[in-house]
Structure 1
Amino acid sequence: MKLFCYLVLFVGCFGFSQTERYEITNLEINNEHPHYGLMCASANTIIFTTYFLTKKGKVKKVSRNTVLAIFQGELSENGQIINIYPIGVDAKYGITRITSAAISPNGKQLFLTTNYSDKDRPSGSFKDTNFHIKVGEYNEALGWTNFKVLPFCNPKFSYAHPSLSADGKTLYFTANIRGGKETTKGGSDIFKVDVLENGNYSEPKNLGSKVNSYSKEMFPFISADNTLYFASNRPNGYGGFDIYKSTMNADGAFLKAIKMPKPINSNKDDFSFIIDAQNKTGYFSSKRNEGKGDDDVYFFTINR
């Protein structure tokens, strides 16, 4: 009887582990430069972050700093990202280092992560390395323009990695806010705000201990079915940053985050996970050993 129970347990566990099989592909866009900050722009387009290159193929620099920019591409039938071009940002705002971005579901707003520049440097003391989130609107002649720092961004803290819900009414991001009820538990936590009318936002709310840890949480993505995917370097992972997911319940609260399986995760940094509305295909970034250089983008399909 004891042997039979062990066999049932083994078969049950094996069967459960095989309910979802992930097939991953290293994309042709990858090279020695990093590619990350993945976010859906529409059903068949994607945006990501990488270095801006000169006509000679060298990394462009402004004031000795490398230029990080947002690029947009179309999705091919086999998952490759093709017809890639840089997103045009109005030059008068002096934004030359964008680490991540998100386009609103209606395509009218661009939320991006950057540092303060001489044009919008706030008064008072703060770390120059702190990030904040700006929002801009699209103009046919100027590209993305009219950028404003989101009103809840305090320059004493760092804010990054915006992601919008499918209805555009909730903005998720990472921050290291300190003090008060919504203080950050670790190096960075995931927060959310309600997107209100007339450019207003609610106060940031920490997603709590079922999502956040005493380590770093980064690169949140909220899927069409309100599953939150993010990266964390918390203990008991495979190594480096791993990708986790947390499901939203009927009350709008997130359940305890669980670690994604291999080959989505590896013993190196894995992050920037996004998935399509049908939960069948998606992308993530990884610095795993078999990659082409720095952070590579991988396409995955799920076979159930």
Structure 2
Amino acid sequence: MLKLFYYIIFLIGLIGFSQTKNFSIKNLEINTEYPHFGLMPINDSKVVFTSYLLDKKGRLKRYEGNPILTIFEGNLSEEGHIVNVAPIQIDPKQNISHITSATISPDGKHIYLATNYTRKNMPKGNFNEANFHITVGEYKTGIGWTNFNVLPFCKLKYSYAHPALSKDGKTLYFTANIRGGKETTRGGSDIFKVDILKDGRYSEPKNLGSKVNSYSREMFPFISSDGILYFASNRPNGFGGFDIYKSIVNDEGVFKKAEKLPKPINSKQDDFCLIVDVEKGTGYFSSKRQGGKGDDDIYFFVIK
């Protein structure tokens, strides 16, 4: 009975998440002049995020003249800080030098990365070199993440990014600009999903539809443990730049019309990459709002 009482109280808190401004928000100590974004939980006590790779003197490391974006992991403290931060270990033989976002499977065996091709692994055929694709790798002790393979549904003429897994690891969400047919992209980029099948195959990408996607750009999806999709969009009638939206999905997998989250989660600048711990009523998001330390900063929030 007591457990049910606390569950009801928590549901009331979730309602407040969308209807009130009752939040506590703080800028994290890990933020610097460089961007920090691409948040994704590994488990209840660890997250991954994207930032630039630095040398021992704090200078930007570069590949082919460009700063290297890579994935970092860190532990979550009781106060909401991200501590013990370190780059994830990727097998250097895989020639992966620029990663915009990543997600790790619930069993810890696979990682999905959004990256682009380099001169060393560029495929044959005509394609836009600026396009991203999603590749999946496995973890091997002493080597790190290795044996990467581009997901079979990624076509060279389109761009795929921002992978996110459902809690059970059976559904992969991502953004893409796929054109043509019933599942065509409405705007600059839409959110799609595929089923991860038991034999390692994937279903065909399915557009989440007009209740979620718009004629603008949708980015950085995240599915919470209670079946709510959070994502960023720069559609009209927002607070400014990219705003964070949510869409509730029912048991049949149908998404309801997306709702914009209130201030102070959203601001007049870009806000995106929200993740939430449903049980704790806490979460993180990235923002370029005024008062930050530099570029995109990571913020911790508590639903009071």
- TM bracket, shorter-chain basis: over 0.9
Verify: 1:293 aligned to 2:294, yes or no: yes
Verify: 1:184 aligned to 2:222, yes or no: no
What secondary structure sits across from 1:211 in the alignment?
coil
What secondary structure sits across from 1:198 in the alignment?
coil
Q: Write the mapping of 1:203-242 to structure 2, written as runs, cut at 5 A.
A: 203-242=204-243
Q: Residues 103 and 111 of structure 1 are in contact (CA less than 8 Å); yes or no, is this contact kept in structure 2?
A: yes
Question: Once the 2 structures are TM-superposed, how far is the Cα of residue 99 of structure 1 from its aligned partner?
Answer: 0.5
**For residues 20 and 96 of structure 2, what CA distance do their matches in structure 1 show?**
45
Q: Residues 22 and 303 of structure 2 are in contact (CA less than 8 Å); yes or no, is this contact kept in structure 1?
A: yes
Count, aligned residues: 289
The letter for the 2-side match of 1:186 is G
Superimposed CA distance per residue, residues 240-276 of structure 1 (whole angstroms, 9 cap, x where no aligned partner): 0000000001321000000000000000000000001
Question: Once the 2 structures are TM-superposed, how far is the Cα of residue 20 of structure 1 from its aligned partner?
Answer: 6.0
Superimposed CA distance per residue, residues 253-301 of structure 1 (whole angstroms, 9 cap, x where no aligned partner): 0000000000000000000000013160000000001101000000000
Verify: 1:95 aligned to 2:96, yes or no: yes
Cα distance change, pair 76–16 in 1 and its aligned pair in 2 (3 A)? closer
Verify: 1:129 aligned to 2:130, yes or no: yes
Q: Residues 287 and 298 of structure 2 are in contact (CA less than 8 Å); yes or no, is this contact kept in structure 1?
A: yes
Which residue of structure 1 lines up, in the alignment, with residue 203 of structure 2?
202
Which residue of structure 2 lines up, in the alignment, with residue 140 of structure 1?
141
Cα distance change, pair 94–166 in 1 and its aligned pair in 2 (3 A)? same
Q: Residues 188 and 215 of structure 1 are in contact (CA less than 8 Å); yes or no, is this contact kept in structure 2?
A: yes
Which residue of structure 2 lines up, in the alignment, with residue 66 of structure 1?
67
Uncovered stretches (5+) of structure 2, i.e. residues with no partner: 1-15
**For residues 164 and 292 of structure 1, what CA distance do their matches in structure 2 show?**
30
Question: Once the 2 structures are TM-superposed, how far is the Cα of residue 186 of structure 1 from its aligned partner?
Answer: 0.1
**For residues 160 and 118 of structure 1, what CA distance do their matches in structure 2 show?**
20
**For residues 285 and 42 of structure 2, what CA distance do their matches in structure 1 show?**
15
**For residues 198 and 121 of structure 2, what CA distance do their matches in structure 1 show?**
24
The letter for the 2-side match of 1:294 is D
**For residues 97 and 121 of structure 2, what CA distance do their matches in structure 1 show?**
13
Verify: 1:21 aligned to 2:22, yes or no: yes
Report the aligned-residue RMSD.
1.4
Larger gyration radius, structure 1 or structure 2: 1
The letter for the 2-side match of 1:206 is N
**For residues 178 and 279 of structure 2, what CA distance do their matches in structure 1 show?**
34
Q: Residues 21 and 263 of structure 2 are in contact (CA less than 8 Å); yes or no, is this contact kept in structure 1?
A: no
Question: Once the 2 structures are TM-superposed, how far is the Cα of residue 141 of structure 1 from its aligned partner?
Answer: 1.4
List 4+ stretches of structure 1 deviating above 3 A.
15-20
Uncovered stretches (5+) of structure 1, i.e. residues with no partner: 1-14
**For residues 233 and 278 of structure 1, what CA distance do their matches in structure 2 show?**
29
Deviates more, 1:245-254 or 1:184-193: 245-254
Which residue of structure 2 lines up, in the alignment, with residue 110 of structure 1?
111
What secondary structure sits across from 2:199 in the alignment?
helix
* Percent identical: 65
Which residue of structure 1 lines up, in the alignment, with residue 262 of structure 2?
261
Q: Residues 221 and 274 of structure 1 are in contact (CA less than 8 Å); yes or no, is this contact kept in structure 2?
A: yes
Q: Residues 20 and 302 of structure 1 are in contact (CA less than 8 Å); yes or no, is this contact kept in structure 2?
A: no
The letter for the 2-side match of 1:236 is N
Q: Residues 93 and 119 of structure 1 are in contact (CA less than 8 Å); yes or no, is this contact kept in structure 2?
A: no
Question: Once the 2 structures are TM-superposed, how far is the Cα of residue 118 of structure 1 from its aligned partner?
Answer: 3.0
Superimposed CA distance per residue, residues 178-221 of structure 1 (whole angstroms, 9 cap, x where no aligned partner): 01110000000000000012321000000000000000000000
What secondary structure sits across from 2:268 in the alignment?
coil
The letter for the 1-side match of 2:193 is K
Q: Write the mapping of 1:10-89 to structure 2, written as runs, cut at 5 A.
A: 21-89=22-90
TM-score of the aligned structures, taking structure 1 as reference length:
0.93
